[in-house]
Amino acid sequence: MDCLPNPQREAVTAEPAHGLKFTQALDQMHEELGAVLARLTSDMAEILIHEVETAPRIFGCAAGRSGFILRGFLMRLMHLGFTVYFVGETTTPRVRPDDLLMVMSGSGETAQPREMQRRANTVGARTLALTTHPESTIGREAQVTISIPGTTKLTLNQEAKSVQCPGSLFEQATFLFLEAVVLILYQRRLGTSRGDVLDRHADLE
């Protein structure tokens, strides 16, 4: 069977027979994200920037899709010249006093980040939580808590309304929040050029 594209064939656009169309899905996501991003403030970004810039080393801990997002943020910080580690990697060293541990959990109750935050607090490290629920265990026990509106796996009444899978809106909003922080840091860090960032980009890949 010929599965290769044939330029002589007439292009066919597949449309679903029923249900949500692709453009409608994008419109709904755009509307939801716009409402959440409008609630984020410059003060929230400056709080995170201050913690990042004053920490000797930055650690991250999160599970699932939140883990992917936080890893991406730490990677960008590494590109900008910060010393970063992700909890659970075999090359991650012991946390020390004044280091920063960032945890990301929409519910604020994810087991591993919750426990790692407690350990970091015990040794005197700074702890910063990204969560939808500042009243959660992680939110209460962090020294700094940044509340990102969204929906989580808890799907509580006070959360932002969303047609997306539970957790997606929180993850999307946090990703864009962190990307904005990266852009601010990139613009502010004197002596950090595009070439410097590229020099720190992985080449063993």
- The one-letter amino acid code at 26 reads L
pLDDT of residue 97: 97
Section 167-175 average pLDDT: 93
Is residue 115 flagged as an active site residue?
A: no
Cα Dmax for the chain: 67
DSSP 185-203: HHHHSTT--HHHHHHTS--
Regarding beta strands 58-62 and 84-86, do their DSSP bridges make them parallel or antiparallel, or are they unpaired?
parallel
pLDDT of residue 155: 61
Higher pLDDT, 111 or 152: 111
Mean pLDDT, rounded, of the chain: 88
Section 120-143 average pLDDT: 97
201 assigned to some structural domain: no
94 assigned to some structural domain: yes
Higher pLDDT, 96 or 153: 96
Burial 68-84 (b: 16+ CB within 10 A, else e): ebbbebbbbbbbbebeb
Q: Would you say the C-alpha torsion 94, 98, 99, 101 has a positive or negative sign? A: positive
3 assigned to some structural domain: no
CA dihedral defined by 164, 168, 169, 171, rounded to 10 degrees? -170
In degrees and rounded to multiples of 5, residue 169 shows phi and psi of -65, -40
34 assigned to some structural domain: no
Residue 165's pLDDT band (cuts 50, 70, 90):
confident
Section 29-53 average pLDDT: 95
Q: What would the two tokens of residue 194 be?
A: 């595009």
pTM above 0.75, yes or no: yes
Section 155-165 average pLDDT: 73
User: How many CB atoms neighbour CB 63 within 10 A?
Assistant: 16
Q: Which of 28-37, 39-48, 67-76 has the lowest mean pLDDT?
A: 28-37
pLDDT of residue 195: 75
Phi/psi zone of residue 150: left (φ > 0), alpha (ψ -120 to 50 degrees), beta?
Answer: left
20 assigned to some structural domain: no
Give the CATH number of the domain where residue 152 resides: 3.40.50.10490
Q: Which of 13-17, 164-168, 187-191 has the lowest mean pLDDT?
A: 13-17
18 assigned to some structural domain: no
126 assigned to some structural domain: yes
pLDDT tens per residue across span 72-116 = 999 999 999 999 999 999 999 999 999 999 999 999 999 999 999
pLDDT of residue 148: 95
pLDDT of residue 74: 98
Angle made by CA atoms 44, 128, 62, in degrees to the nearest 5 = 110
CA atoms of 116 and 102, how far apart (whole Å): 10
Section 34-63 average pLDDT: 96
CA dihedral defined by 25, 28, 34, 39, rounded to 10 degrees? -120
- Domain count for the chain: 1
5 assigned to some structural domain: no
Residue 153 sits in which domain range?
Answer: 41-195
In degrees and rounded to multiples of 5, residue 146 shows phi and psi of -110, 120
- Which of the residues 32, 171, 179, 205 is marked catalytic? 171
